[in-house]
Each structure stands twice: as structure tokens, then as C-alpha cells.
Chains A and B, each alone.
Chain A
């Protein structure tokens, strides 16, 4: 049996922990709300650009012309990997890295990883894949804007046009709902306009646009922006995932702390009770002894 003093100290410790995890849960949930709003706000732009690109690519017959639409045999790929820089978010990062490892093994080509957030590279190091991390960007904070991802997007676009990479992917935890964050790997380069809903494309085809300065010039403006929009979205999704994963992890931690607290309180009361009983017995025996003498 632990002593009363030890128990009291343990109880106080667990109470403190519970307070911290509860606060972290609240912080994560309020950040999550903001992050979700930002994900939603970024959607219309990406969707519109996507629709216009598929239409343009069909009209201008630019598939062969524009460098960002060129499909080449793949010998070297790049992966922009979004992970968190802070821990305490459950299995979010390890799930993501597991998906990346599987992807690298399946793909069978050399993959350069451009990492955003520090947990990804750390986990890759632990599975012996740190050599594939070619660049590392610092954490972009909870509320990044498009300007923050521009250098990342541009360097990969450059890498693709100079044929350093034949394919570019983004890897991020997609925010499905509060309980589920799906590790996702999407190819962003080369851009394949056919990946679009056929009904949507044909509705567009009926419109005869006037293009200024010309279809190819408009396409050249749009394609890099499409890439940027996708990278930006990946970042926003992974931020939303981080906060939801942390919120759930902290909620579980709070609940566990409560359970432990209950157990401890019970033991504490028992120990206290025993101590009191013992004392009473001692006094009673002593009193009897005196009376008998």
C-alpha cells in the first residue's frame, strides 16, 4: 500500500495533467474551426481554375505544347510532404509516413522528398529513409497564406520543367472528419486535364470563348496557379487534420486522466479509512488496558 502522502501527490499530479490536456483540447478545437473555414474558402478558386484548364487544354490542343502537361517516362519523382512540427497528435504523422514508405516501395523510382514540418523527416530517419529528404522547409504556422507556399510550388515546377523530376506528388493528411484523417498522395505534375468529370467538360466545350492574348497565354497563366492552389490546399488540409487529431488525442488523454484519478481517489480513501480504523483500535485497546489495570 502506498502512503497517504504519496497518493496525495500522485492525485495532484494527475489533476494538473488533466488540466493541461483539457486546455490543449480546447485550443485545438478552436484552431480546427478556423482551419476548416480556410479549407472551405480555398475550394472555389481551385475548382474554377481546374474547370477552365480542362476546357482550355482541349481547345488549344496544348497537351503537346505546354511543358507542364507533358507526360514523360518516369525515372525520378518528387514528393512534397506535409507533416506537423509538433507532436501530441496521435498517429497522424506515423500514418502519413507509413503511406509514404509504401508509396516509395511501390513506385520503384527514386523519390526526392521536400518536407514541410519536422516530424516527417524525423520519422523517415527512423526507418532509414532520411537520404531521400532533399529539402526541408520550416513550419509555416497555423494560419499560412498562399505566399508561404510559393517558393515550394515554384521550385518543384522548375524541377519539372528542367526534367529534374518527371512527376511531382503532394502528400498530406486529408481531413475527412473529426475522427478520420486520411494520408493522401496526389500527383500534381504533369497536369492531366482528362482527369475531369466528362459531363463538366462537355458543358464547357459548347462555349466559344474569346481568348486574350490567346489560349496558350491564358493556359500558361493558369497552370502554375493551379499547382500553387493544390499545394496550398494540401497545406490547409494537413493543418486541419493536425488540429483534429490533436483534439481527439487530448480528449482521450483527459478521459484517461479522469479514470486514473477515480482509481487513485478510491485507493486514497481506502488507505485513509484503514489508517483511521487502526488508530481507533489502538486507542480503544490502550483505554481498555488502562481501565483493566
Chain B
């Protein structure tokens, strides 16, 4: 059975390389894209959001923002501006970023600065959501 090879790469490090991946769900700029083995060659830009990798019965969640995605020959390469495993997200830092973005928005700046503040806000919110969910999951598995 065909499977995917998934790579998540940022300028600073290789976040993940995984073989035998069943499917990947990616936040592309035109909407969420699901990729299964034997997908047509695709090149798309990314939006900030959650990338979900499915491997057998397991699912793993990653935060990605900015950059692009390339699919070719069952090889999925994500080149992101920033990416981290949901479990790795620093909640305090994300919370701090959210507060900063909130303040920037309150100051009612204009043009590019406003757009930057909004984008920062969106990223912080997604990070927080992912981190909380990852924590919840860890808590649940411990309870079992």
C-alpha cells in the first residue's frame, strides 16, 4: 500500500521527517487541504493553522505558519516560517504574544502595522488552542 513521506522544515531546523504516513491535513491559503497517497503534484502557500498527520491509528498535531507546501511522488514537504509540535508549544509565550497583539490592536494602528498585529493575534490564538488541546489529551490518557 502506498504511503506518504512527510517533512516539516523551517529555516532553523527540521521539525519532522516521518515515513509511512497515511494522510496529512494542511492549512493552505485557499482552505484546508487533505493529502492522501498518490496525490497529484501540488504547490501551495500556507496559512497559519494546524497540520494533522495521521499514521495508522495515531494522529499528531503541529502548528505551522507561513511558507508553502509541495507534494510530489508521495513526498509531502512543508517549508514553514515557524512550526512546532502541539505538545512543544510554550503556552506562556503564546499567551504573552496574544497580549502584545491585543495591545497593538487597541492602539488602532493603520495599514501594514494593523495587518501585522492581526496576523500575530491569529497565530497566537491558534497556538493557544493547539496547546490547550494537546494538554487535555495528555491529561485524558493519564486518567485511563
Contact A210 B77 (CB under 8 A): no
Does chain B have a CB within 8 A of A106?
Answer: no
Q: A45 to B13, alpha carbons, bound, how many Å?
A: 8
Tell me the chain B residues, 5-46 only, with Cβ under 8 Å from chain A.
9-14, 28-30, 40-45
Q: Is the interface of B mostly helix, strand, loop or mixed?
A: strand
Contact B40 A210 (CB under 8 A): yes
- Residues on A with beta carbons closer than 8 Å to the beta carbon of B67: 221, 225
Among B13, B40, B43, B77, find the residue whose CB has the most chain A CB atoms closer than 10 A.
B43
Q: A38 to B14, alpha carbons, bound, how many Å?
A: 11
Q: A222 to B10, alpha carbons, bound, how many Å?
A: 13
Contact A48 B12 (CB under 8 A): no
Contact B9 A210 (CB under 8 A): no
Q: A41 to B9, alpha carbons, bound, how many Å?
A: 9
Count of inter-chain pairs, beta carbons less than 8 A: 71
The listed residue (B9, B42, B66, B81) touching A48 by CB distance below 8 A is B9
B46 to chain A: closest CB distance in Å?
8
Contact B43 A211 (CB under 8 A): yes
Contact B41 A42 (CB under 8 A): no
- Residues on A with beta carbons closer than 8 Å to the beta carbon of B42: 209-210, 212
Q: Is the interface of A mostly helix, strand, loop or mixed?
A: helix
The listed residue (B10, B40, B41, B45) touching A221 by CB distance below 8 A is B45
Per-residue CB contact flags for chain A residues 240-253 toward chain B (1 = under 8 Å, else 0) read 00000000000000
- Residues on B with beta carbons closer than 8 Å to the beta carbon of A146: 10-12, 81
- Residues on A with beta carbons closer than 8 Å to the beta carbon of B70: 48, 52, 209
With A212-B28, A212-B30, A213-B29 as known contacts, state yes or no: A218 contacts B44, CB within 8 Å: yes
- Residues on A with beta carbons closer than 8 Å to the beta carbon of B79: 45, 48-49, 225
A20 to chain B: closest CB distance in Å?
33
Q: A45 to B10, alpha carbons, bound, how many Å?
A: 6
- Residues on A with beta carbons closer than 8 Å to the beta carbon of B10: 45, 146
Contact A210 B68 (CB under 8 A): no
Tell me the chain A residues, 172-189 only, with Cβ under 8 Å from chain B.
none
Closest residue on chain B to residue A204 by CB atoms: B72
Does chain B have a CB within 8 A of A208?
Answer: yes
Q: A52 to B70, alpha carbons, bound, how many Å?
A: 9
With A221-B68, A225-B67 as known contacts, state yes or no: A212 contacts B11, CB within 8 Å: no
- Residues on B with beta carbons closer than 8 Å to the beta carbon of A52: 43, 68, 70
Contact B68 A228 (CB under 8 A): no
A44 to chain B: closest CB distance in Å?
5
Q: A145 to B12, alpha carbons, bound, how many Å?
A: 7
Some 12 contacts from A to B, beta carbons below 8 A apart, are: A209-B42, A209-B43, A209-B70, A210-B43, A210-B44, A212-B30, A212-B42, A217-B45, A218-B44, A221-B45, A228-B11, A232-B11
Residue positions of A touching B, CB distance < 8 A: 38, 41-42, 44-46, 48-49, 52, 56, 145-146, 207-213, 217-218, 221-222, 225, 228-229, 232
The 10 tightest CB contacts between A and B, nearest first, are A212-B44, A209-B41, A209-B43, A221-B45, A41-B13, A146-B11, A45-B11, A210-B42, A207-B41, A45-B9
